[in-house]
Homo-oligomer: A and B are copies of this chain.
């Protein structure tokens, strides 16, 4: 990883400069938006195919019925068409317009019924009468349609033809991994695995689901020769991370740091939710970055995305959640209004920049020992006094706190100097043989 923090997000080392990353991420969000994703099924496979045009993926297919921790891989759901037709034969609700119109995991139905009976299967948001809600029924066999309250109000009484052409049958749960191998060996160097996870199970939710995927893809594209190994996991929420954990139980201990990405594209500010541990390196790194960017840091709660599973007490992995406006805290959340217009290229670029700064800290954080700890060393004769491009206070802080007990992130936090400046000072001091890396 050779690009310093603060560089523009394009023109990454080893990559041809192309269209700006923000626009590229937004284009990916737009392209993925119409696909009907769910916990399983061909929509997920199609999503992974499109991702694999940008980064190679290893796709895993786990059969229905496979025991995974306390759960069982469910049947696979696929859907070809669905509609509600009025007496005139017009599709008043049409799956072809948006996959949100069908309750996820709806069982097949083909019937004609009066509106009064149909109503039990119709879901709206009376308080947001223009929006279509997102609904699923994973573990209760039923069927339903989602529509706007305004559309519902306009439906006259009478008979309606309802049709859901879906299948719920033995099949597979599909998830994928992309791995960027790190140069650091596992032993001694402090290097390990960094887990970046996004959920892939929601149809047509642009910021909530697709923005995180786009940021992860762009991050994966730009990682060159990192010290840590970066494992990107694209999996359905809950059951997907549970499946991944079940199949990787013996390697979970390699995870040194982790981030779940979701709600990553709206114009609001950044929010980092700490891991269950609260003081993991990723928590400190993310707090440093997000706070400096005017964002918010909140404590762990066992509700949200797949950090719930990674942070269950048996695993207790150092995995936090990075979002912009958090789940449930914006009115577009889980509705048709979370569409590509709600997501901006600027917001995606800002999320990416924050993730890259966090990664930069995870890559560059070290603990040093001052080799001249008695008094200050004479910087002038080593060309480090008032040297251009060096923050003199960062130099003094690194010298003062490099006693083997403070890492560079500690120093950045205590001095309130950006980590990048502290790391640059440390490199200069190490080059001048004034400090050396502490033994682990």
Residues in A lying within 8 Å of B, measured CB to CB:
69-71, 139, 238, 241-242, 245-246, 249, 276, 299, 301-303, 308-309, 311-316, 370, 372-378, 380-381, 385, 393, 396-397, 399-403, 414-415
Contact = CB atoms under 8 A, between A and B. Distances in A.
Given A302-B399, A303-B393, A396-B302, A313 B376 contact: no
Contacts of A249: 374
10 contacts: A69-B372, A70-B377, A242-B376, A245-B374, A301-B415, A302-B396, A313-B403, A314-B370, A315-B374, A315-B375
Given A69-B375, A314-B374, 5 more contacts: A70-B376, A139-B381, A302-B376, A309-B375, A314-B373
Contact of A375 (B299, B312, B393, B414): B312
Contact of A402 (B71, B246, B313, B372): B313
A376 B238 contact: yes
Contacts of A414: 299
A312 B276 contact: no
B242 A302 contact: no
Contacts of A375: 69-71, 241-242, 245-246, 309, 312, 314-315
Contacts of A302: 376, 393, 396-397, 399-400
A426 to B, nearest CB: 14
- Give 8 closest A-B pairs by Cβ, nearest first: A314-B373, A314-B374, A302-B400, A302-B396, A313-B403, A69-B375, A70-B377, A313-B373
A69 B303 CA distance: 55
Nearest to A381: B139
Contacts of A316: 403
Contact of A313 (B71, B311, B400): B400
A375 B237 CA distance: 12
A33 B64 CA distance: 76
A47 to B, nearest CB: 23
The majority secondary structure among interface residues of chain A is loop
Contacts of A314: 370, 372-375
A309 B376 contact: yes
Nearest to A252: B374
A398 to B, nearest CB: 9
Nearest to A68: B375
Contacts of A400: 276, 302, 308, 311-313
Nearest to A72: B378
Nearest to A316: B403
Contacts of A397: 301-302
Nearest to A406: B313
A139 B374 contact: no
Contacts of A301: 393, 397, 415
Contacts of A376: 70, 238, 242, 302, 308-309, 312
Interface centre among A69, A245, A316, A397 (most CB of B within 10 A): A69
Nearest to A312: B375
A69 B245 CA distance: 55
B71 A378 contact: yes
Contacts of A315: 373-375
A81 B316 CA distance: 73
Given A276-B400, A380-B139, A400-B276, A374 B312 contact: yes
